[in-house]
Amino acid sequence: MQLDSVRILDLSRLLPGPYATQLLADAGADVVKVEDTDAGDYARHMPPTTDRGVGALFDGVNRGKRSIALDLKSEDGRTAFYRLVEDADVVFEGFRPGVAARLEIDYETLVEYNEDLVYCSLSGYGQTGPDAERAGHDLNYVGVAGLLDMTREDESMAPQIPGYQIGDLGGGLFAAFSIVGGLLSRELGNGGEYIDVAMTDVVASFSQTVAHEALTGDDPRPGETPLTGEQPWYDVYETADGRYVTLAALEPKFWTAFCEEVDREELVDAHGSEDPAELAAVREELEALFASRSRDAWLADLSEETMVGPVCTPAEALEHPQLEARGLIERPADAPPRIGFPARGSNVPEVHDESIPDHGEHTDELLASVGYDDDERAALRDADVIR
């Protein structure tokens, strides 16, 4: 997975877009952050900050990229952008629908400068539909609460995966996938294309475990489906120290192994039961059982065949030996630690540029590469078109 010859002009900011292009940068792509001449990417200034003096979010998803600061509201700024587009493979934007067109940097405009361009728009609701122009973040996206929050209503939310950030990160991940797909399609002779990714659509796609019931007349609720707590052998349980473990003995063999290891062989035959009274009795037994010992005591004694795992805090999860063994947590000598590229393979880059770009750091370099001489760049800077 070597994207060394691919250049991406990234107009996005904050989390979902930069996360998408960070994945591509880690795969070798030349990602150019196109920022405004005022504050640039808002994430630069969001607390907490790293020891490099920028927001930790910015530091984590903008490594190895270059930055150019352009005033795209000005004619000269757009002209400079068009010249960059001529040599680009991808333009990626995260504006609300209609903004790119008003700035005259939409797909229909840019394809006139580069007919093989892959152009991806990432937004909360997509470019069409009644909510297309609605503002939103993760907690607003259709489906985050209704489709992903299928946890049991009578239990603490502490151990559950939060709905927030699912749309941003999932949207970014799918955008990166779509961009690579667009590049492959182009290489197969299909030319450039326009891609519309809605974070709401991605969240809806994540709801496969409850989609059938919801689409065929039912309205599944927390604790009422096999993978959301209906079955006691597939749920989350509190331990004696107020922490939690997961039990995911969906297959009979894992349930049997668990029952044997905890000396509850009498529960083996309950697996697969649909009798509400029997399910309630098994759950009550499991709740009392797990509450009798601490989380770590359970983990120390149970084997890998029991399908029991810890619910970790973020710090515990990122320090887990499994992630360390996979090399996912990168700790470069000259940069703060971060979560690296989440795939391993025979042709995946193992060494990454960990630098982060200053706002507009590469403006002169990039404009010079498309023919702007020193005097022209000085004139643009004097007119506040570039920074």
> What is the dihedral sign for C-alpha 283, 284, 288, 289?
negative
Q: Choosing from 76, 131, 137, 364, which is the catalytic residue?
A: 137
Question: Most distant CA pair in the chain: distance in Å?
Answer: 85
Nearest to 283 by CA among 271, 265, 296: 271
Determine contact, residues 323/312, Cβ cutoff 8 Å.
Answer: no
Q: Choosing from 41, 89, 168, 235, which is the catalytic residue?
A: 168
Q: Where are the alpha helices (DSSP H) in the chain?
A: 16-26, 56-61, 75-86, 99-102, 107-110, 166-185, 199-205, 208-215, 252-261, 276-290, 295-301, 314-318, 321-326, 363-369, 374-382
d(CA 316, CA 31): 32
d(CA 69, CA 84): 13
Q: Helix, strand, or coil here: 362?
A: coil
187 φ/ψ sector (left φ>0, alpha ψ -120 to 50, else beta): alpha
Question: Amino acid letter at 1?
Answer: M
Q: Which distant-in-sequence residues (6+ apart) come within 8 Å of 92 by Cβ?
A: 8, 9, 10, 11, 12, 17, 20, 21, 119, 120, 122, 175, 179
With vertex at residue 371, the alpha carbon angle to CA 366 and CA 372, rounded to the nearest 5 degrees, is: 75
d(CA 338, CA 287): 37
Determine contact, residues 77/360, Cβ cutoff 8 Å.
Answer: no
Distances (CA, A) of 305 to 44, 227, 250, 299: 45, 19, 12, 12
Nearest to 138 by CA among 127, 123, 152, 159: 123
**Catalytic annotation on 359?**
no
Nearest to 57 by CA among 387, 360, 363, 356: 356
The catalytic site residues sit at 137, 168
